Structure 1
């Protein structure tokens, strides 16, 4: 016992005298913000090391302490410091603040938490497991963890579907494939997904929880869909042919028909066209109208042809048209040059950080002449064109520094070799360094996840309004996360989109309105879990009127890019009032646009009464939009009806926000409800002076009873 006490005493004296009290305090990560005005001097890693050397023992200790340098998202760096070092550094010249690095829980489908739909959110599992989502896409890859059927009973009794050439379980309960195209297929004829797209969208809607999911170590966490207990039916309508990828319209219509017959509750369609067609020749519009008649809401992608005007697809009013927005997680890869300069770029670089600095070579000259040859092997090469990237891969380049600003807008790029994708401004600085340096070298780091406080912002690629065929309907309806979304992926599909890619992974990060669409589908299914009897338009209205408003300043295309705003599933559970757009409303609208015989074709009804036709802006829609003549004063009247789904006895008062020069009046200004499901009418009158061609006016109407707020955008454009 005495020897033990002596040993403990000696140990105490050893630590007390050899390690000072402060040295015993553990180092932790701090984020150091340097003076932005002095960014030129204090934005490089070498400058950051100089700052650290002011408070640490020597340059080696400073180098070990330094973690990352930042000059794109902010000017500063991250370092591991003791509390005393942190205090000293905070008073150093040009240091603005030193803040402890916060701990974020890594989650692959961060998007659902960003939307407020956490793993602990209230659910009615028994009802949720009775819901079936039909996914019209490129098929599905069964056998993944995301599609296991733990805890799920047999398919709902209402289910009438089948499984063709696929092994189903109690999660994937149906699978059909359709192909009647002219080109020979470049894949087997089955529901098996060889592209990965369909697997990704299906798991985003209803994938089961999967722990430790990641894309080769990036965005590691728990992957899950919005309604993990819901069932999936896959309808493969998109294929690889020897002439390229295709989704045949006739196959799409057949899939709609089968899905309706099979008994799906909702349809998720991440498919669109690069050209807007009128309704009678738009198969997706027709198919979704028929689904609506059966009580099935169709959620569809707004298209990836933005930011140009009138690029929104799937603009029929009975479709929930979904644009893509960012979420509060960015994936960044760092490039460090030999002179200490660092650059951060939106990049999905899952390769380990390069062990040393490698020679940097320019891949193209100022005349865009390609300079890549066998000498490029084992070098980091600066590129711009896709052709140069492919050639660099072929000759064995060590890594790629890519000017991808025009190719990957608002999303992280991905390469089949170590790469950092930078904006053009950063690339020009890299080129300047290469040209003026005798031995230019650089190191490419593995990507990291960082918090993005600017989210949500509408992605540049997301389709914009107005809809060409119906310019008085505001589209898209809503936005949802569609940038850098990680979800399950087919093991038959390559992990990158480059030729000769041999790697495969059960998860992949993708961007597009295709990714936003299943988020909206999942949100709609979540609402339906609590309100099984709600019609498609009621669910749609609930999602739109409770959406989070977005900033026109940060999204210059305003409502043409985000519609009602950013989706909020939890608020949509209790919308208060809803705009119930009925089949008759849609038919009356179509009657003003098309001959009666064509309206019959779309509606599927033998008899159609077109005596009560209405203009698009008169339809009972949750948003109010009108296209007016340029350089003429305007007045537009929007007749609307709202149904009370809040409290039986409730009084809602109207509040209007509008810019100067535009007059908005509501009649009546107060709606007094005496019972649930009671419907009351009102009219909104908007008038103003002359608008120049292309000019837009944003206003809004909010009905509130003191608890619930029911918001409708008012959007006038010339």
Structure 2
């Protein structure tokens, strides 16, 4: 165990050093994807078929660049399995010449996509008394194979242990490929009969950022996002799951007896992962070839609000070819809400998932000097509950040369330690789904805690996040943010710089009403590309979701956060709601293995409830 911890510290150190040294590679050439449609070979291509397809790509590009050798040097991916096309580093003029060819469907830049539990399944009704539950009828997703395209996997998590699981299904065509390095001092093989495959795809990422160090050339998850989403879809039953002592219960995925495979196409050397489109497309092509039943992809982006987007979007193209092979692709709707028309992943063959709340809150009560109380969301409070601290508004705690707009969001370098030290700071929540950087700024200035007020656009969606210091996210009905001045105006507001404040310890509350409620950050319809096709398709839990996590990643995912070794964590977003539906799709696939993706999608959409808990 000591060796493993030492190895983790060494990994963290090398990771941070490399981050400081890495410089982006700037060149006139950029990564383009050339999409040619479908292959002429059959559904199970031979090695000869694959080689022939790749050589056809070299020949095609060679006719543009002048030689087979130049084409081979330019191509970083040959999509030779089920998707016909290639990704290559090209000049803009070369890409334009290729687009003129009548055999080419589309040529487009490889985009940079962004990454968009113990209670969810009880809330959704899968876990209840009796023999006729969806879990039991679907045999807990037994032998369905769920592929997850994300930041990889932490294979040592109990969510992916194979105790009591039989042989790998014969339909799995991925062999024994497990591109994960062992932890130092461990003889355990990372993959097993539960986690049956793991691959990584980083050629497009490296073409832009430069080569990753050898320690990063692995499908191991250093971010936590991929482990979280994969365990939500198909993780085992794991008792005593909690984070910071709250949310205690049994973690499990939607299809807890499913087999899972990790496809790492999203990479991070900062506190946010990026997924390069050419890597994502390669991952989907491989997942199709490996024989997965369901693909969960919590990434996406927007190129333009035109119908052509479905032919120039990597997730859309990959999902279409998966559909042809009878594989359902479940995708996140995006975190750009509540603005209308912001939904992404809108191709009609995609199953697009929005995010909503559970009936569980992680909460803390704020008690002000006048004894007025406000209850908010919190995951982490470690200050004495009976001790009062002076409260200061961020706008009163700023340096003299800092604007009120920057100060109220507690942006980096805005807070004056002489004014903040030993106090609780009131900031306004800046991000839609992540505000941990505000807590870091307050901590750096010597604060004891933070209270985060919602902007009007955040509504009453309260997020319990793994902040670096005691933090409570609150919402007051009378609080408004004026867009023009970004100043806070309030009536009879107890929150001011002339009061004191106590925070109660974070606790778990169940049976909260109303629920579900659409999360403020969840991207909204209407479908901006094809308004006649409703998107998102359904919503699922995506707020304050507890699931497995990477032991390498910091709790807050900030590089400055030294807290590591978390087996579970709480995350937000349509990234979290997407694998919920992938897990449910796995149950249906086990119960009805002959059903098409359209049939599975229809079954979920037509049996979904308008609401589960309402105030009556």
Fold conserved between structures, TM > 0.5 = yes
Q: Is the 8 A contact 1:372 1:391 kept in 2?
A: no
Residue 485 of structure 2 is aligned to residue 462 of structure 1: no
Change (3 A) 1:474 1:143: same
Q: What are the equivalent positions in structure 2 for 1:124-273 lying under 5 Å apart?
A: 128-161=141-174, 162-166=177-181, 167-180=190-203, 181=205, 182-184=208-210, 185=212, 188-241=216-269, 245-273=273-301
Q: CA deviation at 1:334?
A: 1.2
How much has 1:549 moved relative to structure 2?
A: 2.7
**1:363, distance to aligned residue in structure 2 (A):** 2.4
> Per the alignment, do residues 445 and 499 of structure 1 end up closer, same or farther by CA in structure 2, a change over 3 Å counting?
farther
Aligned twin of 2:13 = none
**Higher mean C-alpha displacement, 466-475 vs 367-376:** 367-376
Write out per-residue CA displacement over residues 390-411 of structure 1, whole angstroms, 9 at most, x where no aligned residue: 4321122111122243686523
Matched, 1:519 2:600: no
The match for 1:636 is none
Measure, in 1, the Cα distance between the counterparts of 2:384 and 2:364.
Answer: 9
- By how many angstroms is 1:477 displaced? 0.9
Distance 2:248 2:362 in 1: 12
> Distance between the aligned counterparts of 1:429 and 1:494, measured in 2?
39
Gaps of 5+ in 2: 1-116, 182-189, 397-402, 408-413, 480-487
Q: CA deviation at 1:249?
A: 1.0
1:321 aligns with 2:347: no
* 8 Å Cα contact 2:362/2:507 also seen in 1: yes
For the residue of structure 2 that corresponds to 1:123, the secondary structure is: helix
- Indicate whether 1:336 and 2:374 are aligned: no
Corresponding position: 1:444 with 2:470: no
TM-score by length of 1: 0.58
CA distance 1:482–1:371, change in 2 (3 Å): closer
Query: Deviation digits for residues 490-525 of structure 1, max 9, x if unmatched?
Result: 111111144411112111111111111111111111
CA drift of 1:350 comes to 4.7
> Does the 8 A contact of 1:129 with 1:152 survive in 2?
no
Contact 1:372 1:392 in 2 (8 A): no
- Give the equivalent residue in structure 1 for 2:545: 485
Of Structure 1 and Structure 2, the greater strand share is in 1
Distance 1:445 1:220, change over 3 A: same
Q: Is the 8 A contact 2:323 2:329 kept in 1?
A: yes
CA drift at 1:216: 1.3
The SS at the match of 1:472 is coil
CA contact (8 A) 2:138 2:588 kept: no
Q: What's the CA shift for 1:441?
A: 2.0
Contact 1:310 1:463 in 2 (8 A): yes
Q: Partner residue of 1:359? A: 390
Once the two structures are superposed, what CA deviation does each residue of 1:662-695 show, in whole Å capped at 9, x if it has no partner?
xxxxxxxxxxxxxxxxxxxxxxxxxxxxxxxxxx
1:258 CA drift (Å): 0.9
How many residues get paired?
Answer: 443
Q: Distance in 2 between matches of 1:350 and 1:287?
A: 44
Q: Secondary structure at the match of 2:331?
A: strand
Match of 1:379 among 423, 442, 458: 423
Deviation at 1:213, TM superposition (A): 0.5
Write out per-residue CA displacement over residues 197-255 of structure 1, whole angstroms, 9 at most, x where no aligned residue. Answer: 11001000111111111011111111111111101100001001469632111111111
> Offset of 1:373 from its aligned partner?
2.0
Query: Separation in 1 of the partners of 2:593 and 2:345?
Result: 25
Do structure 1's residue 117 and structure 2's residue 146 form an aligned pair? no
Alpha-carbon distance in structure 1 between the residues aligned to 2:202 and 2:492: 49
**CA RMSD after TM alignment:** 2.7
- Relative to the length of structure 2, the TM-score reads 0.67
Closer/same/farther in 2, CA of residues 444 and 225 from structure 1, 3 Å limit: same
Mapping 1:292-307, distance limit 5 Å:
292-307=323-338
Larger Rg: 1
CA distance in 2, matches of 1:359, 1:525: 52
Instruction: Indicate which of 492, 515, 531 corresponds to 1:471.
Output: 531
Do the aligned partners of 1:238 and 1:245 also contact (CA within 8 Å) in 2?
Answer: yes
- Find out whether 1:400 has 2:453 as its counterpart: no
1:270-669 correspondence runs (5 A)? 270-276=298-304, 278-351=309-382, 353-365=384-396, 367-368=404-405, 372-384=416-428, 389-405=439-455, 410-414=461-465, 415-423=467-475, 425=478, 428=490, 434-435=496-497, 437=498, 440-450=499-509, 451-504=511-564, 505-549=566-610
**Which secondary structure state, in structure 1, belongs to the residue aligned with residue 603 of structure 2?**
helix
Helix, strand or coil for the counterpart of 1:300? strand
Alpha-carbon displacement from aligned partner over 1:321-355 (angstroms, at most 9, x marks no partner): 11111111122211112221111112322536534
Secondary structure of 2:172's aligned partner? coil
Separation in 1 of the partners of 2:339 and 2:526?
10
How far apart, in 1, do the equivalents of 2:504 and 2:557 lie?
21
Is the CA contact (8 Å cut-off) linking 2:380 and 2:470 kept in structure 1?
Answer: yes
Alignment CA distance shift 1:217-1:320 (3 Å) = same
